[in-house]
Structure 1
Amino acid sequence: MKSTMMATVSGRLNIGFVLARSFTLSAFSLFVDTLRLASDDTDKSGRRFADWHVLSSKGNLIGSSCGIQVAPTSGLVDPTQFDYIVVVGGLLNCENPVDEETLAYLRRAAAKKVRLIGVCTGTFILAEAGLMAKHETCVSWLHYDAFRERFPDLAVRADRIFQLDRSRGSCAGGSSAADMAAHIVRRHIGPSAERNALEVLQIDKARTHLDIQPRRPLSTDYDDTRLRAVILLMEQNIEEMLSISKMASAVGLSRRQLERLFVEKAKSTPSAVYRRIRLERARHLLARTKAPLIEIAVAVGFVNASHFSRVFRSAYGQSAAEWRSSIGNSAAA
């Protein structure tokens, strides 16, 4: 194992977890399992290079959004013993996701220069505590509007999967929790530890803070609720496409009224926007999977690969197979 790339508090990477009520279990488990698998170079889950604790002010079981409960392993001990404190959020409609004592603890940790990370909606908890000022917050596109509404004075983005600076970090949640954890492992322990964790997790390569979220909905770009609703319908019905008339009816408009609305607000027709959404999904599949072109074509609503490739070439200047080759995906088309 190579020597650490960045100084840690005790020679080992130490992370404390604060789990909100109704926290997202997958985000927590992917983060902590990346640490577990990186903390030893054997399959014994030893804590040679990293250690972690679930912190709590009360010591009670903490329920996740799926109903599974996690037992804390530590009280709110001196925060300076941790290199990072990671706040894992969950359901936004959960009132008081953490108690006042825990919020005070997070503020105390920030005052002592402990790095704080919000995972999933843990960013909302940090922002509510006044701890995200002068930091750009990364959230899931699902939570972008809610964050802007609750914290209009804070910078927020919903394109990247995570970001991490000297004192704050934020993560969209889901599988990106493993990517962020892998980044931290590489920074503090080394690339071989990161590689060991990712191999066991069956992850080919960790994404970086520059990777975009798999689906950033176009609807976030528009303020008309009818247009946004139709774009969400488009995004949710890519393989089995809906007719323009049916989507218009769903928002109480005629087809002609919906077309006028799109031209006015989106400077495009509903059909063109729908096609753009389908092709963006196709590019994601081309870049991230080894699926044959015919499977991708069908998955984005085309009846055959040749029609799909013609439309793709018209939009991007090269065929789907050429585009896949150009980005280094060697999957057979």
Structure 2
Amino acid sequence: MQAIGLIVEDDFQVMGLATLSAFEFANAVLHREAYRVTVMSENPGLVRASIGLAIETAPLGDMPDTLVLIGQLRPRPTSAALRDYLVRAGVEARRIAGICTGAFALAAAGLLDGRAATTHWGHARTLQDRFPRVRVDADKIFIVDGKIWTSAGMTAGIDLALALIEEDHGSEVARNVARRLVVYHRRPGGQSQFSTLLELEPRSDRVRRALIYAKENLANPLSVDELAAAASLSPRQFSRLFRDETGQSPAKAVEQLRIEAARILIKDGRHPLDTIARDAGFADRNRMRRAFIRSYGHPPLSLRRSLRLIDGVRGG
């Protein structure tokens, strides 16, 4: 039996509790208590989530095998007591995980110094600014660096929990748990968050609405007129506002969204490049190739070959 310690603090994000179900169903799949979960906090008793409901917690005590820190909607300063407990965990726990903004507390304890880590894309820049010794990658669902695991926000915590279960009990058990949770088995840690939207970081709802429309309709031509209509602006107003807020033209932003979508499909490895070019909204494979070279300096075929090489090394 492995002990899982789940740490929550006031205003924790309730979606993080979904990880409890992953370990619960792992016990059901294995027909034994493979995991015993304790929800803990610095101040034991009732701890309130950001939405208002409360959960009973135990005090920080004996170190569990795996410590999981649930994030908050907005990261708060880490108390000295929690920081000391996390420093101790860095020595005593087998694994330590931070879900969403839980990475901020891990960073405050020095556990992410020199390591790669991720968090919710909306907080990635803040994490990097506050903790420059952390190698923040906002483009990942979750990252494993040694004994430290970090994930993006919301449902990415489930992907992290499934990966923990897979490490402990194999892929078949993790697949069965995913089926019981009615989720995809599991998204790979390297899958992208909304990185292009993060980089563009529009300030107004109208430009943000146009970008979301573009991301959801890549098969469309996505002309300036079409995007302006999604933003409820004239084409001239939209082009000026878009460049003011993002620093680039709508056409360039759409190309980045198409490249991002194509890259995810290439990593998936199940589709020919012609199909990927069409699904990502490129007119043909050659246009996709030129866009990849402009952005990455190499064609999509090179990305596919490198991924196959990595898979071959892992398989060996």
- Normalising by structure 1, what TM-score? 0.67
For residues 1-333 of structure 1, the aligned pairs below 5 Å read 12-29=1-18, 31-41=19-29, 48-72=33-57, 74-79=58-63, 82-92=64-74, 95-96=76-77, 99-112=79-92, 114-213=94-193, 215-220=194-199, 232-238=208-214, 241-243=226-228, 265-266=247-248, 269-274=249-254, 276-277=256-257, 280=260, 311=283, 315-316=287-288
Aligned pairs, number: 273
Aligned partner of residue 20 in structure 1, secondary structure? coil
1:139 alignment partner AA? T
8 Å CA contact 1:40, 1:47 repeated in 2? yes
TM-superposed CA distance for 1:316, in Å, is 2.8
8 Å CA contact 1:120, 1:172 repeated in 2? yes
Aligned partner of residue 59 in structure 2, secondary structure? coil
8 Å CA contact 1:219, 1:231 repeated in 2? no
TM-superposed CA distance for 1:258, in Å, is 5.7
The change in CA–CA distance for 1:133 and 1:229 in structure 2 (over 3 A counts) is farther
Deviation digits for residues 231-274 of structure 1, max 9, x if unmatched?
6443234369541996889xxx96675687699x54xx323423
TM-superposed CA distance for 1:307, in Å, is 12
Query: Distance between the aligned counterparts of 2:157 and 2:176, measured in 1?
Result: 17
Aligned partner of residue 174 in structure 1, secondary structure? coil
Query: Distance between the aligned counterparts of 1:175 and 1:38, measured in 2?
Result: 18
TM-superposed CA distance for 1:197, in Å, is 0.9
Higher helix share: 2
Aligned partner of residue 7 in structure 2, secondary structure? strand
Query: Distance between the aligned counterparts of 1:58 and 1:259, measured in 2?
Result: 47
The change in CA–CA distance for 1:127 and 1:283 in structure 2 (over 3 A counts) is closer
Deviation digits for residues 212-248 of structure 1, max 9, x if unmatched?
22x21345268xx77x988644323436954199688
Ranked by relative contact order (alpha carbons within 8 Å, sequence separation 6 or more), the top structure is 1
TM-superposed CA distance for 1:111, in Å, is 3.1
Deviation digits for residues 16-44 of structure 1, max 9, x if unmatched?
01112211211221x111111012337xx
Deviation digits for residues 124-147 of structure 1, max 9, x if unmatched?
111122221121111221111221
TM-superposed CA distance for 1:13, in Å, is 2.5
The change in CA–CA distance for 1:202 and 1:244 in structure 2 (over 3 A counts) is closer
1:235 alignment partner AA? L
Q: CA RMSD in A?
A: 3.9
Structure of higher CA gyration radius:
1
Query: Distance between the aligned counterparts of 2:280 and 2:95, measured in 1?
Result: 47
8 Å CA contact 1:262, 1:270 repeated in 2? no
Query: Distance between the aligned counterparts of 1:143 and 1:50, measured in 2?
Result: 31
TM-superposed CA distance for 1:154, in Å, is 2.0
TM-superposed CA distance for 1:163, in Å, is 1.3
- Where structure 1 has 5 or more consecutive residues not aligned to the other structure, the ranges are 1-11, 289-305, 318-326, 328-333
- Where structure 2 has 5 or more consecutive residues not aligned to the other structure, the ranges are 218-225, 269-277, 290-303, 305-316
8 Å CA contact 1:217, 1:235 repeated in 2? no
Deviation digits for residues 39-74 of structure 1, max 9, x if unmatched?
2337xxx752111111123322111122221111x3
8 Å CA contact 2:116, 2:134 repeated in 1? yes
Deviation digits for residues 179-222 of structure 1, max 9, x if unmatched?
11111111112333212211111124212222222x21345268
Identity %: 24
8 Å CA contact 1:23, 1:88 repeated in 2? yes
